[in-house]
């Protein structure tokens, strides 16, 4: 089985994971979904990059998730897991996410036309994550949520950019940026425990 045949499951994984990150407020589930997001991203990137280079994105992403998770776990575990969300808010987020999914999936085929080497699944996955990340940034102000939004936007961009640039230096720098955002997020969360749950 070639890695390209995993594109559809990878896209499904991205869809499920990005909606989970947006809708579920428990930080444990959010970080687990973020890790799935990076797995989906890796599978898509591996269709255009050698697997040994693409795995850098997976490792950097999972490390970012670990950094955030460990910070939250050590800071105030009892409060952090207790975030409440109204059912109507959840419904609103699902509806907003559906709109973003529609817009992004309609944008992807056009992009494929003007970027050679960009497959439909790659474009759809990239735009999906960028859209979801932007939506997340627009809906949240809490440190964890802002960081999750930024990491989601970046991983979407990385999927798109993989189709046009396969440099080891760029892969390394993007991994540093991902880890840097996670570290900065952990640093900022460690000073405002009351906001972590977000």
Partner 1 sequence: MNAPVIWIIFPGLLAGLLLLGRRAERITAAAAAVVALVLAWTAWQVPIGEALAVGSFSLKIAANLSVFGRDFVLAESLRPFLAMLYLVTAFWILGAYLAKPGNLFIPLALAIVSLLTAALAVEPFLFAALIIEIAVLLFIPLLAPPGKAASRGVFQFLSFQTLGMPFILFTGWMLAGVEASPSDLALVVRAGMLLGLGFAFLLAIFPFHSWMPMLGEDANPYVVAFLVFVLPGAVSLFGLGFLNRYTWLREAENIFVVLRSVGALMVVVGGGLAAFQTHLGRMLGYAAMLATGFSLLAIGLGGASGLELYFALFLPRALAFVFWGIGLSFFLSQSQGGLSFSAVRGLGLKFPFMAGTLLVSQFTTAGVPLFAGFPPRYALLNTLAGVHPAAAVSALIGSLGMLVGALRTMTALLGTPKGDAARLAGKPGGWVFLSAEKPQLLMGVFFAIVCGLNVMVGLFPHRFYAAFAHLLPMFDKLLP
Cβ proximity to partner 1: between 8 and 173 the closer is 173
Coil, strand or helix at 141: coil
Q: Encode burial over 106-142: b for 16+ CB neighbours within 10 A, e otherwise.
A: ebbeebbeeeeebbebbbbbbbbbbbbbbbbbeebeb
CA–CA dist 17, 19 (Å, integer): 6
Q: How far is the CB of 8 from partner 1 (least distance, A)?
A: 25
Cβ proximity to partner 1: between 16 and 157 the closer is 157
Q: How far is the CB of 54 from partner 1 (least distance, A)?
A: 16
CA–CA dist 20, 18 (Å, integer): 5
Q: How far is the CB of 1 from partner 1 (least distance, A)?
A: 31
Cβ proximity to partner 1: between 29 and 157 the closer is 157
Chain Cα centroid distance, residue 39: 10
Cβ proximity to partner 1: between 3 and 134 the closer is 134
What residue ranges bind partner 1 (CB under 8 A)? 114, 130, 137, 141, 143, 146, 149-150, 153-154, 157, 160-161, 164-165, 167-170, 172-174, 176-177, 180-181, 183-184, 187-188, 191-192
């Amino acid at each position: 089985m070639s890695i390209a045949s995993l594109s559809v499951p990878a896209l499904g994984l991205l869809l499920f994971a990005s909606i989970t990150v947006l809708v579920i407020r428990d930080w444990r589930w959010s970080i687990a979904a973020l890790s799935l997001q990076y797995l989906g991203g890796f599978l898509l990137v591996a269709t255009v990059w050698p697997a040994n280079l693409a795995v850098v994105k997976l490792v950097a992403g999972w490390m970012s998730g670990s950094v955030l998770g460990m910070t939250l776990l050590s800071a105030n575990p009892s409060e952090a897991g207790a975030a409440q969300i109204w059912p109507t808010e959840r419904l609103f987020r699902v509806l907003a996410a559906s709109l973003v999914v529609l817009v992004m999936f309609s944008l992807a085929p056009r992009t494929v036309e003007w970027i050679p080497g960009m497959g439909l699944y790659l474009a759809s996955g990239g735009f999906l994550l960028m859209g979801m990340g932007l939506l997340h940034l627009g809906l949240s102000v809490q440190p964890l949520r802002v960081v999750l939004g930024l990491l989601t936007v970046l991983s979407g961009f990385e999927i798109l950019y993989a189709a046009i640039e396969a440099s080891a230096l760029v892969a390394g720098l993007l991994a540093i940026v991902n880890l840097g955002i996670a570290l900065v997020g952990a640093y900022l969360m460690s000073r405002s425990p009351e906001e972590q749950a977000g």
